[in-house]
A and B are shown apart, each in its own frame.
Chain A
Amino acid sequence: MGQAYSTIAFDPAKCDGCGKCMTACASVKFDSTDTTRSLIQIVRSGGARIEPPRPGEFELALCRQCADPKCVTVCPAGALGKNGATGVIDWDASKCVDCLLCTIGCTYAGIALDEHSGRVSKCDTCEGKPACVPACPTGALRHVTTARIYNEVGSWEDLFAPGLAGCQGCNTELLMRHALRRVGPDTVLATPPGCVPGMGSVGFNGTTGTKVPVFHPLLTNTAAMLAGVKRQYERVGRKVTAMAIAGDGGASDVGFQSLSGAAERGERILFMVVDNEGYMNTGMQRSSCTPYGAWTSTTPVGEHTRGKSQDAKNLPMIMINHRCEYVATASTAYMEDLYEKLDKALAASERGFAYLHVYSPCTTGWRFQSALNIEVARKAVESNFVTLWEYTPESGLHFTRPVDKPLPVTDYLEAMGRFRHLSPEQVEHIQKKVTENLRFVRKIAEQADEQ
């Protein structure tokens, strides 16, 4: 399997050209205040405009640590090479003969002459801790370390059967496989009726769809059964993770009583909800998590009704009121965030009840193209339609992906068919609800900060 690497990402929309990254780089690398020596160069693209205008006035000249580096192919001295472990294009000062050919090879101005030393210089990502990133006050520079997940997870055992019968473009398979890989083989899994067993977790023809013990409780008793199984294991002295992967219907409607009970008793289980905002597996009926205005087969669009006429229940906020060991919301558009939360939930489930609520767009039921699942998930977060946060009784609630400049909610609504019929009044209602929800969660987050 290939290797993934960490990278420095730049968001031109956030860069205001302050140049603090260059100051930091010149100082760390050359102990100099001369920003022309910085290995990261912020370039004003506006002045030289010859193309139609684009958002953002600033761009970047920085080595991309190419996978197919031209600088390496033209170096006659073997002084440049890709480091297989870090992905960085390493420069060997002792082999370099200062011929400058690499500056011909690179089309990105990633390696250039440092006139002070007379030698070429290029970014080496500061051994994995780039000094420019923390120096950036606007968040335009980010050090993306998601690569860790792909490298690590790729080597863990996939505990689901190779073929799962999900709809085209569904991200639940991604979620199931990643989550179970992380939780590992010492797991007992409960998958109540919904898309997850529908896709094949409970198996076919007498064999399970997982490589761990899996059972198929009723919608109503998932948390109760799982708690019982976990207690029995504890009684015989075996350490296993008791995990549920349930839909929002099973958790927020008929299954809520047993879920609430298990959380209140502090059962040591990990309860993951895949929230696709309805009973999608059985034909797209509404649930208490379906948002206002959404079309479902039981909230049709016609002469009398225009989609669901009630607002969604905020289940994760309700779970906080059980003072669980851990409660978090997550999204497959932010895998790094999801992984961190999965790690914490797993650890918390050894002490008490851990609840992880994953927002999961449904290509079939929400009506969007199968290639756009992650895009829709991202827009939900970027418009604050959903918020990503985590909670523990000790430190309270904290946003993990705060959105500075939220997209208008219409950007999200227009991304799918189930909201196509909305009237301006309905859109206004939804935008208000988004604001109100955000205000509510923020209040609780602020109170956590005051502690």
Chain B
Amino acid sequence: MHTTDYLIAGSSHAALEAINAIRMHDGEGSITVVTRDPHRPYSPTVLPYVVSGRSTPERVYLRDDAFFTLNKVDYRSGCALAGLDPAAHQARLADGSTIGYRKLLLATGASPVVPPIPGIDRVDYHVLRTLDDATRLRAAMAGSKNAVVLGAGLVGMHAAENLVKAGASVTIVEMSKQLTSGYFDEVAAGMIEQAFLGNGAKIRTGHRVVGLEPGPEGATLQLDNGDTIPADLLLVAVGVRPELGYLDGSGVATERGILVDDAMRTSVEDVWAAGDCAQARGFFTGTPVMNAILPDATVQGRIAGMAMAGDPGVKPYPGGVPLNTYHFFGRHAISVGSAAVPEGGRAQVRFDAASGRYLRAVFDRDERLTGIFGVNEFFDAGVMAQLILRRTDLGPLRERFFAQPLATGRELMSQLWR
């Protein structure tokens, strides 16, 4: 049986940051990475650009073989974790073999949710999470005339734009009343909607797909109001969820994800979890939340790696803050923090129709920033996130901050954490 000091399941952002953190403190302990994916590490976030052709599969890798040699990492791709025996400190792999570990990191991310729509098992559909998904979608996109995207989150919207630009007629079907809900407010979502409509996309918000049938071109969707939509390409992008079957019987506590404390420790000794598979403390709620975004995966991976290696410099996780950037038809949107107005707090909004600049900022009752959202209004998201994490009292500066978030944010930065 192969044994290793550090076993890492997964090879994406959380895993790569953990490797860095471990090697920063422990230059020698053996590291083994097992990953389900057959490729070298890459980011799911880059995949829309592989679909559009902006990037190519050969150019997206985040590490080369030399990195693993230099860092003495045994990298095993196409090698999924299938079971766990924490008492014996052993992991079982999909090929039936076992690996003994001293410390284990679960960084297996999330997978697309496929909703249980009657008939979905009889039609061909796409998802977008892996490089192979992207290659397949890109090939299908070339010949598509009638495409349907199920789900108007950022993954779905990005793909829809790619399809529009590739010349397909595109319909976006979304259950909730608003596009990109959870990322952007009504006004921003309205701007996004206008941009899509202006470019010829059809939008069916507030509708559910109740049935799927194989049709002449591919599939026929049936909506809850009886409408039918034909599709030669169907992309399912209704959300993600971690696949945690490998934890069955292991005793590792899970809810929607793997429950972790502020050092990314799971309920079981010598097992950590980080990234999209983990359910860690939310900054605003204080309770465990899913915050499946890339920056948080790196922060959590770093903490887990430091904790695993026993690095005394490790600081507790401050809690996850939602952070997103999004481009649509030549415009950009940035969202930092929570859109909800806290009790006693307020939201401020401004919109300039001529330039299309939109800004919404949310403050709590103590004049502290809790969220900021912009369309075509650039501000340093990293600086804003720090203002939120540091619970900075903006006090008399609030008006100026709202008028000029870029300049004022930098001024505050220069006083508070330079």
Contacts and interface: CB of A to CB of B under 8 A. Distances in A.
Interface of A: 41, 43-45, 47-51, 54, 59-61, 70, 73-74, 76-78, 95, 97-101, 103-109, 112-113, 115, 118
A61 B410 CA distance: 7
B397 A48 contact: yes
Contacts of A115: 378
A34 to B, nearest CB: 14
A234 B123 CA distance: 94
A44 B385 CA distance: 21
Closest 8 CB pairs of A and B: A59-B414, A76-B43, A48-B411, A76-B45, A100-B325, A97-B49, A104-B381, A76-B46
Given A47-B400, A104-B325, A109-B409, 6 more contacts: A50-B412, A51-B415, A70-B298, A78-B61, A103-B380, A107-B382
A77 B418 contact: no
A43 B411 contact: yes
A105 B382 contact: yes
A51 B327 CA distance: 36
B161 interface: no
A287 B62 CA distance: 64
Contact of A104 (B62, B385, B415): B385
Interface string B378-415: 10111101100000111101001000000111111111
B208 interface: no
Interface residues of B, number: 51
30 contacts: A43-B410, A43-B414, A48-B408, A48-B412, A50-B392, A50-B393, A61-B414, A73-B16, A76-B43, A77-B49, A78-B59, A78-B60, A78-B62, A95-B59, A97-B54, A99-B46, A99-B327, A100-B325, A100-B381, A103-B325, A103-B381, A104-B323, A104-B325, A104-B381, A104-B382, A104-B385, A106-B380, A107-B386, A112-B380, A118-B330
Contacts of B414: 43, 45, 59-61
Contacts of A99: 45-46, 49, 325, 327
A108 B413 contact: yes
A50 B386 contact: no
Contact of B295 (A49, A50, A97, A105): A105
B339 interface: no
Given A77-B46, A103-B325, A109 B382 contact: yes
A346 to B, nearest CB: 38
A48 B416 CA distance: 11
A43 B61 contact: no
A311 to B, nearest CB: 43
Contacts, number: 128
A112 B59 contact: no
A448 B46 CA distance: 63
B381 A95 contact: no
B383 A109 contact: yes
B345 to A, nearest CB: 19
A410 B65 CA distance: 60
Contacts of B411: 43-45, 47-48, 59
A344 to B, nearest CB: 37
A107 B327 CA distance: 21
Nearest to B385: A104
B99 interface: no
Contact of B382 (A54, A70, A76, A97): A70
Contacts of A50: 392-395, 397, 412, 415
Contacts of A95: 55, 59
A74 B381 contact: no
Contacts of A61: 410, 413-414
B40 to A, nearest CB: 11
B417 A107 contact: yes
Identify which of B54, B386, B415 gathers the most chain A CB atoms within 10 Å of its CB.
B415
Contacts of B382: 70, 103-109
B417 A74 contact: no
B202 interface: no
Nearest to B44: A76
B175 interface: no
Interface string B216-250: 00000000000000000000000000000000000
B332 interface: yes
Contacts of A77: 43, 46, 49, 55, 59-60
Contact of B410 (A78, A98, A105, A109): A109
A118 B332 CA distance: 9
B193 interface: no
Interface in B59-81: 59-62
B34 to A, nearest CB: 22
A441 to B, nearest CB: 37
Contact of A101 (B59, B294, B385): B294
A35 to B, nearest CB: 12
